[in-house]
Amino acid sequence: MKYLVLLLIIATSHHGYTVEANSGASKKISAENSNDIFVCNTGDTVLKTYNGAIDAFNHLLPGQGVYLCRGGEFEVTRHARISRTSCEAEKVCTFGAYGEGPDPVVLGSGDMALTIQSEKGVTVKHLLIKDIVFMGEGYEAPNVTGISVSAKTHLEYIDFDNITIDGYHTGMIFRPASPTNHHVNMRNSKLLRNKGSGFLGGISDSILENNLFKNSGTGRSGHQIYVSGKGLKNFTVKGNTLDHNAPVGEVCNRGPLVAHGVIDGLLIENSHH
């Protein structure tokens, strides 16, 4: 009896990111022949999974991007972490969407959808994450965070634009507020049905702007937005809409927007309730 063995081998080289598919042929993503990597769970793209897309993102050259197909659904099968990049101010690396139709949906199944976490001695910087829906398990979701931006060393110039985080315990976490982390921003995004909090934490010189927080922070001591962090400086909360807030109980309990601790240079303006 003959058996057909299918192999998917992922490797890196100094030229870029190489994917060897089950056909035996290889497709190299490099500055020489392509700027971007396209991922779809249907069709003829070389990569078809969300975790494969994250693995590829960690090996991008400056200015490249990884894009999920619009209308596609992708399951989180293991912890997804962006921890190593070579991106630059003039060559930002993008994780986004391509094609026509609704934004791609990343389905969390009891695991965090995405962690951006610098490794020791590595600076993760100049990233743009946009046009993706991160979907959890709804109001009864376990104590799982949708997206966490955290650092052992350095994080800087990371932007989230037009993303949706729906149905986690906590939608988005920024931490810690150390001097080596700065300019991490979230704009034009939706944080929905995150029972614990919509947003938690803070990183210096950063902004939350023009986001919709709806039905988040409905659990005990939950908040739509909870800004905090030892040493946090110059944090802006601007033009956000807070809809379907939980009933406010005691001080700092279920308040829709809370800033906790000593924050130097905190600006909160034009928030709509």
Q: Choose among 74, 73, 87, 75: nearest CA to 116.
A: 87
Tell me the per-residue pLDDT of 209-219, one tens digit each, with 9 for 90 and over.
999 999 988 77
Question: Could you give the CA distance from residue 35 to residue 49 in angstroms, rounded to a whole number?
Answer: 19
Question: Could you give the CA distance from residue 228 to residue 211 in angstroms, rounded to a whole number?
Answer: 18
What band does 20 get if pLDDT is binned at 50, 70 and 90?
very low
Q: Which stretches within 19-149 are classed as H helix?
A: 50-57
For 177, how many CA atoms within 13 A lie in the half-sphere containing its CB?
20
Question: Could you give the CA distance from residue 39 to residue 183 in angstroms, rounded to a whole number?
Answer: 28
Neighbour-count burial for 16-55, b at 16+ CB within 10 Å, e otherwise: bbbbbbeeeeebebeeeeeeebbbbbeeebbbbebbbbbb
Q: What residues contact residue 14 under an 8 Å CB cut-off, 6+ apart?
A: none
Tell me the per-residue pLDDT of 150-159, one tens digit each, with 9 for 90 and over.
876 789 999 9
Give the residue-averaged pLDDT of 42-50. 91
Three-state SS at 54: helix
Please say whether the beta carbons of 176 and 146 come within 8 A.
no
Three-state SS at 186: strand
Confidence check: pLDDT of 134 > 60: yes
Confidence check: pLDDT of 6 > 50: no
Tell me the per-residue pLDDT of 103-124, one tens digit each, with 9 for 90 and over.
999 998 777 899 998 877 788 9
Tokens of 24: 């035996």
pLDDT reported for residue 122 = 83
Give the residue-averaged pLDDT of 247-265. 76
The predicted model scores a pTM of: 0.86
